[in-house]
Amino acid sequence: MLEEPMRDYNGRRDFRKTPEPRGGRRRPRREAIFVIQEHAASTHHYDFRLEVDGVLKSWAVPKGPSTDPRVKRLAVPTEDHPLDYADFEGVIPAGEYGGGTVLVWDRGPYDNLNEAGGRKVPMAAAIANGHAVFRLHGQKLRGGWALQRIGSDDANWLLVKMRDDDADARRRPTSTEPCSVISGRTLAEIGKAADG
């Protein structure tokens, strides 16, 4: 089977050296999921991923998400990741692509909120059009969010909280809720476990 969508992902990684999962398209889970992974690589960032048509569409968000609707966070598209990546937490060895510690910062199902003329718009089409809205059901992030492409190429997007009951200008979840939602560990604890 041709794994076209994972060519970039697989081509950048040496699976004899990295503990990350090998890429492939998989039958979708019952509910589409999102995952946000904190990634302490050469530059610290958060990877925001949405399950779309059997892969995880991905953006690197340098400052991480903000629950303040007035704050727009830069989101830079990265290569599609396999669905299994939503379970990946650990250390990518130094010198490998994305070398550094990965923590599953938030995860859960999401709802596609995209509509045009009273009809549902598939998430893939919304992303292709440069504007996607969705409702997150995570442990840390909830409610409506938008990804908006800016400029004429695909280089830069913005991740923004929509104005709803889950918007909160005072919350700072990336600071106050740093632990993994799958293991309860901190970045430092994940790093230490890999040293052992």
Minimal distance in Å, beta carbon 62 to Mn ion? 10
Nearest to 92, CA basis, from 190, 182, 179, 196: 190
Residues in contact with Mn ion, total (CB under 5 A)? 2
Closest separation between CB of residue 11 and Mn ion, Å? 16
Q: Determine the interface stretch with Mn ion among 25-33, 35-43, 84-92, 178-186 (rule: CB under 5 A).
A: 35-43
Minimum CB–partner distance for residue 39 and Mn ion (Å): 4
Q: Which residue in 47, 79, 89, 106 binds Mn ion (CB under 5 A)?
A: 47
- Cβ closest to Mn ion, residue 39 vs residue 142: 39
CB-nearest residue to Mn ion:
39
**Separation in Å, CA 181 to CA 23, 38, 53, 71, 149:** 23, 11, 24, 24, 29
**Residue 39 interacts with Mn ion (CB under 5 A): yes or no:** yes
For Mn ion, the closer CB: 51 or 79? 79
Q: Which helix (H) or strand (E) holds 174?
A: helix 173-176
Residue 21 is classified by DSSP as P
Please report how many Cα atoms fall inside a 13 Å half-sphere around the Cα of residue 124, on the Cβ side.
6
3-state helix, strand and coil shares in percent for the chain, rounded to the nearest 5: 15, 40, 45
CB of 37 to Mn ion, least distance (A): 7
Provide Rg for the chain, Cα atoms: 16
CB of 102 to Mn ion, least distance (A): 7
Footprint on this chain of Mn ion (rule: CB under 5 A): 39, 47
